[in-house]
Structure 1
Amino acid sequence: MSEVPPVKSRFPIGLTIAVAIAFGILCFLGAWQIKRMAWKEDLLGRIETLKTAPAAPIGPVLAAAAQGRNVAWTRVSVACRPASLPPLSLAYGIRDGDVVWRAQALCGVQGGPYDLILVDRGVVPELTGQVEAPARAFAEPGQVTGILIPLEQLGGHRADAVTGLAGRKPAPLALMAERETPAPAGIVPAPLPAEISNRHLEYALTWFGLAVTLLFIYAAMLWRRLRP
């Protein structure tokens, strides 16, 4: 008696697994954009508050940061003491679509949990658009008023300027200078981007829309394959 060949299942198991994985990834990306939207709305709210917020002494604010409180986007004022460290080179950046070079310096802080903070003093206008910048020397910062941001938001390797300093306690924040007294010649303060977009809801709807579209395509393919 001849054997009857086994009937192969018409249900696409491999494709189903692939679709499930892709669907999960698309939903994850959509949910991530929703979280980013909440973060961006909080950020924009803090920036809006900055327009009228007075500058607080930096000491208590850094003490709060050392206790784990979120002090990012706080306006502070500090009288910088000499850092007794080599001057920092200019930092590469992009602003309004142009290559810019930003002056940075180390500011000595008296008292509190940290004795040093990185200050972004602004851009050097005459170097805008240059691929490479020559070495430039500026006077050390004096009285600085500006906005605190986390070091990692500076981008690139700029946080390396305060790492590995033996015997020093640098703050995990950078001070984006709004104004200095005395004002350094050749530097224009540029603490914030001219415009901060918030399109995360649009991105989230795009990812969720792709996930739903994927399900419709899969359902249509499955119906054609399994129908009598």
Structure 2
Amino acid sequence: MPKPVRPGAVRALAAPAIASLICLAILLSLGVWQLHRKGEKEALIGRIVARSRAEPPAPLPARNDWDPARDEFERVRVTGTLLNDQETLVHGLAAGAVPGKALQGFYVLTPLKRDDDGSLVIVNRGFVPTELKDAARRQPGQVAGSVTITGMLRGSEIRTMFVPPPEPAKGEWFHRDIDGIAAARGLTVMPYLIEADATPNPGGWPKGGQLRVDLPNNHMQYAFTWFGIAACLVGVFGVFAWKRLSEERDGSASNPAT
């Protein structure tokens, strides 16, 4: 019969077992939290898609009524005059004709003076490639007179650590900073902008409809990762404990005096 394991050998496993249980609880909690986040993200995507397809488009919210959590991605329509001499170009990429190959260029952000109350709202009219940076080269891309634009509301784009800071004096912008662009132009604008839809512009440029409602939702993968690590932890501790106890039994069998 197998020689019983000494109580001291079992007690020696107590500290590693407690540490493993704590780590296991943390890993399982992270996995459950990712599943919860997955449900929240799916609900958010559903709300955004519903807003972006709303018919008829909603009126613009008043300055003091703007609530990003409620209004962002709302489909809206506005009529007014584009202030083409005040357009700002923001560096960006857009999908090209060849799948997987992006075009480098600029997004054309133009203030629009509303017909109803005279207030200004910035409109992201769409994308132009680098060779069409100069407005004169995309004529008749400039639209004169009253126009009606349909699109989705967005707040300012957050600048991440990998995005260079803007250089307003040089007209170099790398993210859609509503307040910064308005200040550089000396304008008072709404605290949001409109991402214009794909309605063709004269001359074909800028190309609107660049906004994609495709928020990443990788939480299921993250959950499987945490649960997988938890399973590996259980397996590693099991092998460790079995090996230690087996060595203890073998050592006791070879040295009966102990």
Q: Report TM bin, short chain.
A: 0.5 to 0.7
**Residue matched to 1:65:** 66
What CA distance in whole angstroms lies between the structure 1 residues aligned with 2:32 and 2:94?
28
**Residue matched to 2:93:** 93
Counterpart of 2:224, as a letter, is L
What CA distance in whole angstroms lies between the structure 1 residues aligned with 2:21 and 2:202?
59
Matched, 1:38 2:36: no
**Residue matched to 1:77:** 77
Give the deviation of 1:212 after TM superposition: 2.9
Counterpart of 2:48, as a letter, is R
Per-residue Cα deviation, 1:147-190 (whole angstroms, up to 9, x for no partner): 1133337985413353164464444433211155x834223222
Distance 1:216 1:51, change over 3 A: same
Equivalent of residue 142 in structure 2, options 139, 143, 151: 139
Task: Report the number of matched residues.
Answer: 212
Segment of structure 1 superposing worse, 214-223 or 22-31: 22-31
Give the deviation of 1:33 after TM superposition: 5.9
Contact 1:30 1:203 in 2 (8 A): no
Q: What's the Cα RMSD here?
A: 4.3
Contact 2:57 2:75 in 1 (8 A): yes
Q: Which has the larger radius of gyration?
A: 2
What CA distance in whole angstroms lies between the structure 1 residues aligned with 2:232 and 2:77?
53
Give the deviation of 1:88 after TM superposition: 1.3
Give the deviation of 1:63 after TM superposition: 4.3
Distance 1:86 1:111, change over 3 A: closer
What CA distance in whole angstroms lies between the structure 1 residues aligned with 2:207 and 2:38?
31
Per-residue Cα deviation, 1:116-141 (whole angstroms, up to 9, x for no partner): 443222233xx3xxxx5552314258
Counterpart of 1:121, as a letter, is R
Contact 1:80 1:143 in 2 (8 A): yes
What CA distance in whole angstroms lies between the structure 1 residues aligned with 2:188 and 2:18?
55
Higher helix share: 2
What CA distance in whole angstroms lies between the structure 2 residues aligned with 1:36 and 1:153?
23
Distance 1:194 1:171, change over 3 A: closer
Give the deviation of 1:195 after TM superposition: 6.0
**Residue matched to 1:4:** none
Distance 1:146 1:30, change over 3 A: same
Segment of structure 1 superposing worse, 35-44 or 10-19: 10-19
Counterpart of 1:42, as a letter, is L
- Give 3-state SS (helix, strand or coil) of 1:73's partner: coil
What CA distance in whole angstroms lies between the structure 2 residues aligned with 1:15 and 1:152?
47
Contact 2:108 2:127 in 1 (8 A): no
Segment of structure 1 superposing worse, 22-31 or 142-151: 22-31
Give the alignment's TM-score, normalised by structure 1.
0.66
- Give 3-state SS (helix, strand or coil) of 1:201's partner: helix
